[in-house]
């Protein structure tokens, strides 16, 4: 049951200072307001509110703390040169939020209504959308289970929230090729698990591998399939693409990989340029062989937070694969320039991806 009630707006009387435009960190600064909505099994989703950004109170027995029944999304609002604010394919995020919720036994939200409420929130926080190249307003919608109950079962009450954070680049150093560790001990997801859902446990379960990889000088981890540790899945914060001997490849969606909205957009963009993308199983051995044969031209990750992030080196079982001499590849650069130009309204949005917040 999805019920609709009028959105209540309470304005903040204590506005925060905004970060300096040339030093926007990732995910540590939050705007003046947030959106909340409650769910109970008898009322459905109700009480949508925009209120001053503040801590929330939860019962220590709230089920989110114990069994991690939660989902989230990541999307962005961009500032155009003429001062307008654009969202990028926002309907896809609410569609995916409901898919993640289905997997986590969380009741669905009304996608159109959520976009309406989000638009109201962004309208109110428009001044927080930064304008320097590479910056944006990161939007984090999420749902947590709030019922106080230690039973291992879906909760009867939930909270939906949207918080906003002005951000710069996800990886420190901006659009600079990153070094990635290919993980062959720990597992992120398996077929039939929650890998396709944007849920907390998929991320925190990777921290141990991530910490080890970082200690060895890598920026993140590339996950292999959980059964054979043979096939490439995704990086902790992004999907991955390869350009090998002129062909663009990315792992096929198999239920354990996140269906990235930037991933889909890059495939559609490349197709619109007449460049086909092969989505199939790709083994790490095949990548190593292509490297040994000198055929790897480019590797890059795609994600809302990461945008297009070139990969300059892959480390697998003590073997170092340097890609394109640690330099940004021509295709990665072109994709980055094109997608960010669409997102910030610099070029015509021929594919109809952006939505203006008036």
Least Å from the CB of residue 221 to ligand COI: 13
141 lies in the site for ligand COI, by CB under 6 A: no
304 lies in the site for ligand COI, by CB under 6 A: yes
Between 274 and 293, how does the x/- string for binding to ligand COI read (CB under 6 A)?
A: --------------------
Q: Tokens representing 283?
A: 């083994």
312 lies in the site for ligand COI, by CB under 6 A: no
Residue of 166, 303, 310, 329 interacting with ligand COI (CB under 6 A): 303
Q: How many residues in the shown chain lie near ligand COI by CB under 6 A? A: 6
The Cα–Cα gap between 309 and 313 comes to 12
343 lies in the site for ligand COI, by CB under 6 A: no
305 lies in the site for ligand COI, by CB under 6 A: yes
Cα 128 to its chain centre, rounded Å, is 20
CB 261 within 8 A of CB 92: yes
The Cα–Cα gap between 171 and 164 comes to 19
Q: Tokens representing 171?
A: 């990886």
69 lies in the site for ligand COI, by CB under 6 A: no
Stretch that binds ligand COI, among 35-43, 82-90, 276-284, 303-311 (CB under 6 A): 303-311
3-class SS at 82?
Answer: coil
CB 283 within 8 A of CB 291: no
Rg (Cα) of the chain, in Å, rounded? 21
Cβ-based nearer residue to ligand COI, 157 or 210: 210
The Cα–Cα gap between 117 and 245 comes to 46
Between 164 and 203, how does the x/- string for binding to ligand COI read (CB under 6 A)?
A: ---------------------------------------x
Residue 282: half-sphere exposure toward Cβ, Cα within 13 Å: 26
- Residues within the interface to ligand COI (CB under 6 A): 74, 203, 237, 303-305
């Amino acid at each position: 049951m999805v019920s609709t009630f009028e959105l209540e707006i309470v304005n903040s009387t204590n506005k925060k200072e905004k970060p300096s435009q040339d030093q926007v960190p990732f995910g540590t600064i939050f705007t003046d307001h947030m959106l909340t909505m409650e769910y109970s099994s008898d009322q459905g989703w109700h009480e949508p509110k925009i209120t001053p950004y503040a801590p929330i109170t939860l019962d220590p027995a709230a089920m989110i703390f114990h069994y991690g029944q939660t989902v989230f999304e990541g999307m962005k609002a961009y500032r155009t040169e003429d001062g307008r604010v654009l969202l990028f394919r926002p309907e896809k995020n609410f569609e995916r939020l409901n898919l993640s919720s289905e997997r986590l036994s969380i009741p669905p939200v009304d996608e159109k209504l959520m976009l309406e409420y989000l638009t109201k929130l962004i309208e109110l926080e428009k001044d927080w959308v930064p304008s320097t190249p590479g910056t944006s307003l990161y939007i984090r919608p999420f749902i947590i289970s709030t019922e106080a109950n230690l039973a291992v079962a879906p909760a009867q009450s939930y909270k939906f929230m949207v918080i906003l954070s002005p951000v710069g680049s996800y990886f420190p150093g901006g659009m600079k090729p990153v070094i990635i560790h290919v993980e062959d001990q720990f597992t992120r997801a398996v077929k039939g698990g929650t890998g396709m859902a944007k849920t907390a446990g998929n991320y925190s379960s990777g921290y141990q591998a991530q910490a080890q990889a970082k200690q060895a000088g890598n920026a993140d981890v590339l996950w292999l399939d959980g059964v054979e540790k043979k096939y490439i899945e995704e990086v902790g914060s992004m999907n991955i693409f390869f350009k090998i001997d002129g062909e663009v490849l990315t792992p096929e969606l198999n239920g354990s990989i996140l269906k990235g909205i930037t991933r889909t957009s890059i495939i559609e963009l490349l197709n619109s340029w007449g460049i086909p993308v092969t989505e199939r199983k790709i083994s790490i051995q095949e990548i190593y062989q292509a490297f040994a044969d000198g055929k790897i031209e480019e590797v890059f990750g795609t994600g809302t937070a990461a945008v297009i992030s070139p990969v300059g080196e892959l480390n697998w079982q003590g073997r170092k694969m340097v890609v394109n001499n640690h330099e940004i590849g021509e295709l990665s650069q072109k994709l980055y320039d094109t997608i960010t130009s669409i997102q910030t309204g610099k070029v015509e949005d021929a594919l109809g991806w952006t939505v203006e917040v008036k």
